[in-house]
Structure 1
Amino acid sequence: MLETQQIQQFQELFKQSQKLVLINHIQMDPDAYGSLGAFYLVAKALGKEMIVINDELPPEDFAFLGINNIFQTSIDIEEFDPDMILSFDAASEGRLGEIYVKNRDYIQGKNFVVFDHHSTNPGFGNLNFVYPESPSTCEIIFELFEKMGLEKYISKEVATLLTAGIHTDTNVFYNQNTRPETLEIAAKLMRYGADFRGSIYNFFQSFSMEKLKLYSTVGNKIVAYKNKKVFGSIVNQKDFDSIGATKDDTSGIINRLSNLKGAEIVFIIYEYENETKVSMRSKGYDVGKICASFPGGGGHKNAAGFTSDLATEKIIEKILEQIEL
């Protein structure tokens, strides 16, 4: 999958670079967290000096993966003076948040490497490992390690981080994006000692009381469209406040909604105090294209999302007018 020329170019840059800045997308998911985290641990073992940045700290649910403490929400990037900046799992510059926007000109003037698997990624780095055929960015990072001959640095911790991203972005190999190579990589990671049970338990089986209540709220507010082939639900800030749920509790709920009988497309609209976030899933229909019609939106064919300042009614109208079933 990865191109030899790209790997050689990266290998030379990496060899020459001592100070690195790593960044992943806002509202990070396990693929963004795992791909960055795995790279961080391997680069640390190789003696690199790094700062890891994001607008937000990771969800507490990710703590079992062991690297929540490496993230910081501010940086004096000129003082640190990195040799290379690396982005993980961000489909666009907008997904890197305010911390990126503030430092964009500086970052764009440096060796800026992008690792991503979203089909809507325009390639905003000056070296882009963008492979939409890969179900996860974690697979891209694993292949990079192999092609660079870094297998001996793949510890149990590194393997578990990569496994978590693969599990969540493939819905434990259930999604249509799962490739034979995905299963082969998963088998290799298991041999490296990856905690498969821990990943599945923490991201698919264990949840808080607040999240359980949020599941119920989403279910109670489902509305059917397009002859019951499209289903949507709206959760507002009052709902979050009344049950004590947070943004972190929304993780994975859209995937459960997609299991509705007869559903071809599902969406959840989360009306937060300062923004409205939309998540979409489908069984073959290109929701990535729909989400890309909103500024800053995009993703994959069967899984995508966007943030909008439009009224909820207008968002639904714009979604539905693009769907022909």
Structure 2
Amino acid sequence: MTEAEKIARILLAEPKWRVVCHVKPDGDTLGCGSALVSAGKKLGRDVIWGGVDPLPPLYAFLPHSGEYRAGASATDDGRCVIAVDVSARDRGVPGLEPRISIDHHESNERFGAEVNWIEPHAAATGEMIYAVVLALGCALDADIAEALYVSIATDCGWFKFSNTTADTMRVAAELIRAGAVPATLDERLHFNDTPAKLHLWGRCMARVRPVGARAALSWITRDDFRETGALESDTEGLINMLTHMKGADVTVMVSEIKDCLRCSVRSRGPVSAQAIAAKWNGGGHRYAAGCKIHLPLEEG
């Protein structure tokens, strides 16, 4: 029995599900959540979903986005709790114990009470949710296909990152056959930026600095968010633009938020972004990771 089949067996025995997304939700966790809500409802299950942070406006087009509960209570209400793309306990809903954890981060803490399906070779957790949906016996429809395509495409750089595999492309092809329209989804995600977001990105790009011969650094301050009117979620994807700097094998972007610094790390070649982030108790993937540092920006 595959991991997807084990998870499907548990879910089919449960009438009520709760899907948990990670803090600062991105396309992968939200696409997974949306797809599971769609699949569960098709199977007659009572499904709710959410996470600590709000759903970014960029992803408001996803099916069931209006049902997403931000700042969700830790009370499970007897539901089967499924964490999707959540690599650590403190990145889910504090106090809520998932029965099932489905994730592709190598650094996952394996905190699921019953099943921990961790597949670091998957380009996105969406690839794994695709397998779960099929194991549930749920036919793919346009809603599920759209959500999973967003999940996968956003986490593999629209099929250009090194984590893109033949399996990734095969799954994407099946999602297109089921109703996902790549051109439409690309337009929704890449041609909807607000002036505030563009101004924020401009400030960050203007600060890019080389660090030594093979690294680059930039940062965003709390004043940048306040003065531009941009949201914290508007930083998604910005680190990938910084990686375009010639010769930079390591790129770091620091965002000053609330009581800490949130650092995004990207690398290529022999350098591990995950190893760099781990020095500050962070985690992620070999070439894409992050961490939080509890220091003022001047010291961080």
Per the shorter chain, which TM-score range?
over 0.9
- Structure 2 distance, partners of 1:142, 1:71, is 20
Instruction: Say which of 159, 164, 167 aligns to 2:150.
Output: 164
Instruction: Say which of 113, 127, 130 aligns to 2:100.
Output: 113
TM norm structure 1 = 0.87
What residue in structure 1 maps to residue 128 of structure 2?
Answer: 140
Aligned-pair CA distance for 1:314 = 4.7
- Structure 1 distance, partners of 2:41, 2:279, is 40
Aligned-pair CA distance for 1:305 = 0.7
Aligned to 2:226, the other structure's residue is in SS state helix
- Structure 2 distance, partners of 1:273, 1:20, is 32
Give the conservation status (yes or no) of the 8 Å contact 2:31–2:126.
yes
Instruction: Say which of 51, 72, 88 aligns to 1:92.
Output: 88
- Structure 2 distance, partners of 1:52, 1:69, is 10
2:53 counterpart letter in structure 1: E
Q: Deviations over 1:221-253 (max 9, x none)?
A: 1111121x1000011011111211111211111
Structure whose residues are more often helix by fraction:
1
Give the conservation status (yes or no) of the 8 Å contact 1:31–1:168.
yes
Aligned to 2:247, the other structure's residue is in SS state coil
Q: Deviations over 1:81-107 (max 9, x none)?
A: 22x1100101111111xxx22x34xx3
- Structure 1 distance, partners of 2:36, 2:12, is 14
1:197 counterpart letter in structure 2: A
Aligned-pair CA distance for 1:74 = 3.2
Q: Deviations over 1:263-298 (max 9, x none)?
A: 111111001233211111111321012112213x11
Give the conservation status (yes or no) of the 8 Å contact 1:11–1:148.
yes
Instruction: Say which of 123, 128, 131 aligns to 2:119.
Output: 131
Q: Deviations over 1:168-197 (max 9, x none)?
A: 111111101100111111111110010211
Give the conservation status (yes or no) of the 8 Å contact 1:231–1:263.
yes
1:85 counterpart letter in structure 2: V
| 2:58 paired with 1:61 | yes
What residue in structure 2 maps to residue 293 of structure 1?
Answer: 279
Give the conservation status (yes or no) of the 8 Å contact 2:262–2:293.
yes
Instruction: Say which of 119, 131, 137 aligns to 1:149.
Output: 137
Runs of 4+ in 1 over 4 A off after TM superposition: none
- Structure 1 distance, partners of 2:21, 2:247, is 35
- Structure 2 distance, partners of 1:92, 1:206, is 31
| 2:36 paired with 1:49 | no
Instruction: Provide the identity percentage.
Output: 26
1:75 counterpart letter in structure 2: S
- Structure 1 distance, partners of 2:231, 2:8, is 40
Q: How many residues align?
A: 297
- Structure 2 distance, partners of 1:176, 1:76, is 37
Aligned to 1:312, the other structure's residue is in SS state coil
Aligned to 1:121, the other structure's residue is in SS state coil
What is the aligned-residue RMSD (CA, Å)?
1.6
Aligned-pair CA distance for 1:76 = 6.7
Give the conservation status (yes or no) of the 8 Å contact 1:120–1:300.
yes
2:73 counterpart letter in structure 1: I
For structure 2, the residue ranges without an aligned partner over 5 or more in a row are none
What residue in structure 2 maps to residue 200 of structure 1?
Answer: 186
What residue in structure 1 maps to residue 11 of structure 2?
Answer: 14
2:259 counterpart letter in structure 1: N
Give the conservation status (yes or no) of the 8 Å contact 2:37–2:64.
no
Change (3 A) 1:148 1:16: closer
- Structure 1 distance, partners of 2:35, 2:231, is 27
1:258 counterpart letter in structure 2: T
- Structure 2 distance, partners of 1:20, 1:174, is 34
- Structure 2 distance, partners of 1:76, 1:44, is 22
